[in-house]
Structure 1
Amino acid sequence: MARTVKSTDAADLALGRAIRMWRRARRISQQALARTCGVTFQQLRKYETATDRISISRLARIAETLRCPCRDIVRFLDLDADAAPPPHPVTLQGMTADRLELLLLYVELDPDQLAQAEAFVRARTGDDPKV
């Protein structure tokens, strides 16, 4: 019997990244989220990396555990990860899951780290706050 090769869909990848982003934002470990949802942490890792697809009932359970509506997890599925940045002012509309995850990490920085990050970004973008 021939074995079929599973292909990873862009939507599956985006969904996995969104679950990981929400889990990290809620400061929940893979193991804790998996236990609450009735799967192993290895299975949750497969969901987050899109190695395995996730059922809608499992997604609902994950969303419930993460204290967010399913629609907030899937809102990025129709966005292209390589899309141009959103126009200013930055809104959640048009923001990819990767960029939102970076934003969530940014708000966790302590004041010294924040100053270093701001200096780095300003140097990279050529944005001088003194102008």
Structure 2
Amino acid sequence: MGDIRRKGPHIIDVTVGDNIRRRRRSLRISQEALAAAVNVTFQQIQKYERGANRVSASRLYEISRALACDAGDLMPRGEWHAAVPGQDWLRDAQALHGRHPRLFAQLTKWPEDRLRLLLVTLQTLHP
């Protein structure tokens, strides 16, 4: 097995960041206010939300408390891989993010049932 090197942030970090940003905005909390609540700079919150910096488990817990949700609510849903059995969903998601970051950002906002339908449709078009 060779050394696998990624360019850019990991897809999981991007998804966690997107979820933090969505929750923060839905509560109308500024980056500055969230940063103060978890004792980091607003620049650090920006980096978390972009996926540029990974959120540690303890920091994710603090952020979830500040955003009045469970830490698990900020994590990606693990059922994506079940939509197309036998495929390496994480590798495919990383490749999609690397080639089309804006498209991937939009897809992460879709409900899981729509993502499943999209994946099944794509499988029938390109067997």
> TM-score band (shorter)?
0.5 to 0.7
Q: Superposition pairs for residues 86-105 of structure 1, below 5 Å?
A: 97-99=108-110
8 Å CA contact 1:14–1:76 kept in 2: the answer is: no
8 Å CA contact 1:11–1:77 kept in 2: the answer is: no
TM-score when normalising by structure 1 = 0.56
Aligned residue pairs, count: 84
1:8/1:24 CA distance change after superposition, 3 Å = same
TM-score when normalising by structure 2 = 0.57
- Letter of the 1:98 counterpart: K
Match of 2:11 in 1: 10
- Letter of the 1:59 counterpart: L
Larger radius of gyration: 1
8 Å CA contact 2:20–2:49 kept in 1: the answer is: yes
In 2, Cα distance between equivalents of 1:70 and 1:7:
24
Q: Deviations over 1:79-122 (max 9, x none)?
A: 4777xxxxxxxxxxxxx64236xxxxxxxxxxxxxxxxxxxxxx
Q: Secondary structure at the match of 2:35?
A: helix
Q: Secondary structure at the match of 1:98?
A: coil
Q: Deviations over 1:53-83 (max 9, x none)?
A: 110000000000000011111143664777x
Matched, 1:62 2:63: yes
Match of 1:23 in 2: 24
Percent of pairs with identical residues: 39
Cα RMSD between the aligned structures? 2.6
In 1, Cα distance between equivalents of 2:73 and 2:33:
21
8 Å CA contact 1:34–1:41 kept in 2: the answer is: yes
Q: Going by fraction, where is helix more abundant, 1 or 2? A: 2
Match of 2:54 in 1: 53
Match of 1:33 in 2: 34
1:26/1:13 CA distance change after superposition, 3 Å = same
8 Å CA contact 2:32–2:42 kept in 1: the answer is: yes
